[in-house]
Chain A
């Protein structure tokens, strides 16, 4: 059972209050009809499935209800950070340097 920091509640809480919501920063195209079948497939189905730091979404579904983003290492399952939905993809190298 993971331990997750909700950036909205500013609390670190057990995984059972949260729902995983897939890879983050895959924005819905503004005009889907302008996309080729391949581009639309990429949006629908192609996933990074990163081994290591993974940008992903969670929802604090049994809590504040907010969707938010996280970077989690998929090898250790450890969260590197969480941040609010809509925030830009953080640059991990900067974060590491700061630590």
Chain B
């Protein structure tokens, strides 16, 4: 692997960039691997990287039905934060934040982790109560998150409309300074390159058709479009498609897949200094390093695998953005797109072992798993390597749906009076 640096860039510039090497080879499947990971998103590639780096397991294949990073990793609004309410979530996401901090250096790939601060707006008394609860819980968990008055919020993000006459007036905000965004594609590519450098095979355009199990029930390998691949351990990291893949192993999942949309504006000079989320108005926005406003929308009401989504929802999202930031009314939408997100009943992930021996799963991140990428990948690798839960991912089991020990961040923020 060519080391990336300003020097190597300069050297290559002088030689017409002819000597750069492939960032990852175009691998064809071998007959057998120690571990097969289904899904070359950030989570799957990251898990492969940590398996190789921290557990010395390098005979690993990451298999994707399309191009690597083409799932939700390549289509999300890149918001990264860890100010979650419950200890379990705070620990997981904060672990991810710790890894984000040095990810560029670790991977020798600039993932452009930008600590711009994520500000969450409170628009009513209930929001205030709920965010204060987060702020206090985060403080005692050692997670940074603080409360801003609406004036402080405006100072932090000047385009914000804090007029009391607004339909949803801003009553304050919670701000996590350590939070921000990262360049989505670079995360996938950086992990892919670093994993490949340690011997991991990345096999693209190769749908996994089924997970094969032996007479004793344990995993034997995967049937793919390129034939059977033997492996005693298979980790499924297929995001929106998890149900389908797991079903082939006879494991039915508590998941539903919905289309989630996002959009970008035309690029403009820096105008938006941070990330703002408003759950009440349904608006999520930041400005990318290329200058577009990156805006997150909601999920359509019906399940779907179509990566599309409807127009009315987008209209609502854009209206919400203009409600909170009226100066953007004359900005133009450049492109909108959809992804497929897998949602669990408590909207928290499922991460770890399954009832099937040798089968591991990492799914259910819904609308918010990009931020978890390094943390989820890191702890999943541990679990796969040792066949036991990592202390951080231990609560995120499948069993919780049987016992009732849900980790329901959304319900904790439920709006009702």
- The interface of chain A, by Cβ under 8 A from chain B, is 1-2, 15-16, 19-20, 22, 37-38, 41-42, 44-49, 51, 54, 56, 72, 74-77
Contacts and interface: CB of A to CB of B under 8 A. Distances in A.
Interface stretch (B214-222, B224-232, B250-258, B287-295): B250-258
A74 B306 CA distance: 7
A49 B402 contact: no
Given A2-B302, A74-B304, A45 B401 contact: yes
30 contacts: A1-B310, A16-B312, A22-B256, A37-B402, A38-B402, A41-B254, A41-B402, A42-B252, A44-B345, A44-B401, A45-B254, A45-B345, A46-B252, A46-B253, A47-B243, A47-B255, A49-B243, A49-B244, A49-B253, A51-B241, A51-B244, A54-B303, A56-B302, A74-B303, A74-B306, A75-B304, A75-B306, A77-B304, A77-B306, A77-B308
Contacts of B256: 22, 47, 49
A15 B310 contact: yes
Contact of B303 (A16, A45, A56): A56
Interface in B280-330: 301-306, 308, 310-312
B105 interface: no
Contact of A20 (B241, B254, B255, B302): B302
Contacts of A19: 301
Contacts of A20: 301-302
* SS of B interface (majority): loop
B15 interface: no
B4 to A, nearest CB: 39
Contacts of A51: 241, 243-244, 305
B19 interface: no
Interface in B329-382: 342, 345
Given A74-B306, A77-B302, 18 more contacts: A16-B312, A20-B301, A38-B402, A44-B345, A46-B252, A49-B255, A49-B256, A49-B257, A49-B303, A51-B241, A54-B303, A72-B302, A74-B257, A75-B304, A75-B305, A75-B306, A77-B306, A77-B308
Contacts of B403: 37
A48 to B, nearest CB: 8
A6 B351 CA distance: 40
Interface string B240-283: 01011000000011111100000000000000000000000000
Contacts of A15: 310
Contacts of A37: 402-403
B254 A2 contact: no
Contact of B254 (A46, A54, A74, A75): A46
A37 to B, nearest CB: 5
Given A1-B310, A51-B244, A74 B305 contact: yes
Contacts of B342: 49
A22 B345 CA distance: 12
A68 B359 CA distance: 38
A58 B243 CA distance: 22
Contacts of A46: 252-254
